[in-house]
């Protein structure tokens, strides 16, 4: 493992020094359509995004609510894939760090047909090496895999770390202190704190368990904490007793973009927060 400081950690800490919370918008790849997707990313970074999370569509998105799930199915029908996303990123340049959010199977299959090995384990590791190499070339700084918890993370962590790409840990209201401590041993970049016992999707207010989770995570991790799931407007995180270092908003933005509205409009209220 290399000792390089994580770009993602540095980015959020720099924002923190400015006295504000980092803004991390999430967009499903190819939303609102394949062409304007790239402009949407540019618009997000020009309008206050500090990091952008890019969703790789999957046919069976088990951690996602109806908005992201539907966007995911539509993106697939437009022919969006991880390869399309990475090829497009290699041709372009964005100023803010980019993070990929993908379920395990599209990541695992990405390099599978080119991977050599005499056992499944060897093929898997070779496939993940190819993936990490291409993610690196596309400028990806971090990866979130919502269906790979700590116990399965080893091979993914290893392949990504070799390319200085952070595997982002997800913790939630029912993640015990002990389990957070286990995550802390290998966590890099930032910690994704899931605000609710549920799936992605905009909600009103903030559930009370979010504060407990943030407090518990703060006592364990030295990395910045990014709060996500259920966020749609900055008022939800204003004046909290335990504040996150970054906020992630996905469903509300994806819905907004799919209605044909601009990314700049969506970002406006977040700029004052």
Partner 1 sequence: MKAYFGDFGGRFVPELLVPPLEELEKAMETYLTNPLYTSELNSLLCHYAGRPTPSTFCPNLSRELGFKLYLKREDLLHSGSHKINNTLGQGLLAKRMGKTRLVAETGAGQHGVATAVAAARLNMSCLVFMGKVDVERQASNVARMRLLGCEVRPVLDGTQTLKDAINEALRYWISSQADTHYCFGTAAGPHPFPTLVRHLQSVIGQEIKLQINDREKKNPDLVVACVGGGSNSIGAFYHFLEDKNVTLVGVEAAGTGTPGCYNSAPLNLGSPGILHGQFSMLLQTPEGQILPSHSVSAGLDYPSVGPEHAFLNATGRVHYGLVNDFKALEAFKILSQSEGIIPALESSHALAWVLENRKEIKKDQVVVVNLSGRGDKDLDIAREHLDF
Interface ranges with partner 1 (CB under 8 A): 58-63, 65-66, 69-70, 73, 76, 81-83, 103-110, 112-113, 119-121, 146-152, 170-176, 179, 194, 196-199
Q: How far is the CB of 203 from partner 1 (least distance, A)?
A: 11
Joined tokens for residue 65: 């609510």
Q: Which of 43, 45, 50, 53 is catalytic?
A: 53
Within 13 Å and on the Cβ side, how many CA atoms surround 160? 26
Q: How far is the CB of 251 from partner 1 (least distance, A)?
A: 14
Catalytic (active site) residue 53: yes
Nearer to partner 1, 110 or 266 (CB): 110
Beta carbons of 9 and 190 less than 8 angstroms apart: yes
Nearer to partner 1, 66 or 235 (CB): 66
Q: How far is the CB of 247 from partner 1 (least distance, A)?
A: 19
Within 13 Å and on the Cβ side, how many CA atoms surround 255? 13
Catalytic (active site) residue 64: yes
- Classify residue 244 by burial, with Cβ atoms within 10 Å: 0-12, 13-18, 19+: buried
Q: How far is the CB of 40 from partner 1 (least distance, A)?
A: 22
- Choose among 26, 48, 28: nearest CA to 36: 28
Nearer to partner 1, 96 or 199 (CB): 199
Q: Which of 64, 129, 166, 245 is catalytic?
A: 64
Q: Going by C-beta distance under 8 Å and a sequence separation of 6 or more, which residues neighbour residue 187?
A: 168, 169, 221, 223
- Choose among 171, 169, 174, 218: nearest CA to 193: 171
Nearer to partner 1, 9 or 102 (CB): 102
Catalytically active residues, by annotation: 53, 64
């Amino acid at each position: 493992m290399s000792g390089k400081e994580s770009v993602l950690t540095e980015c959020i800490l720099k924002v923190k020094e400015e006295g504000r919370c980092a803004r991390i918008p999430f967009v499903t790849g190819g939303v609102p359509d394949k062409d304007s997707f790239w402009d949407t990313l540019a618009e997000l970074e020009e309008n206050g995004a500090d990091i952008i999370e890019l969703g790789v569509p999957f046919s069976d998105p088990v951690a996602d609510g109806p908005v992201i799930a539907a966007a995911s199915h539509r993106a697939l029908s437009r022919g969006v894939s991880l390869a399309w996303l990475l090829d497009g990123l290699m041709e372009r340049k964005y100023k803010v760090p980019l993070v990929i959010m993908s379920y395990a199977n599209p990541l695992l299959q990405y390099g599978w047909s080119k991977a050599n090995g005499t056992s499944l384990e060897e093929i898997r590791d070779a496939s993940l090496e190819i993936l990490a190499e291409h993610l690196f070339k596309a400028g990806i700084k971090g990866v979130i895999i919502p269906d790979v918890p700590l116990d399965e993370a080893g091979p993914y962590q290893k392949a990504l770390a070799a390319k200085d790409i952070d595997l982002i840990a997800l913790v939630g209201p029912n993640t015990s202190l002990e389990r957070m401590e286990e995550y802390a041993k290998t966590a890099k970049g930032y910690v994704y704190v899931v605000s609710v016992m549920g799936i992605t999707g905009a909600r009103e207010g903030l559930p009370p368990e979010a504060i407990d989770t943030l407090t518990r995570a703060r006592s364990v991790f030295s990395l910045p904490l990014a709060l996500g799931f259920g966020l749609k407007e900055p008022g939800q995180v204003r004046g909290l007793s335990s504040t996150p270092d970054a906020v992630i908003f996905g469903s509300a933005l994806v819905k907004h973009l799919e209605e044909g509205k601009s990314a700049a409009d969506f970002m406006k209220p977040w700029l004052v927060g």
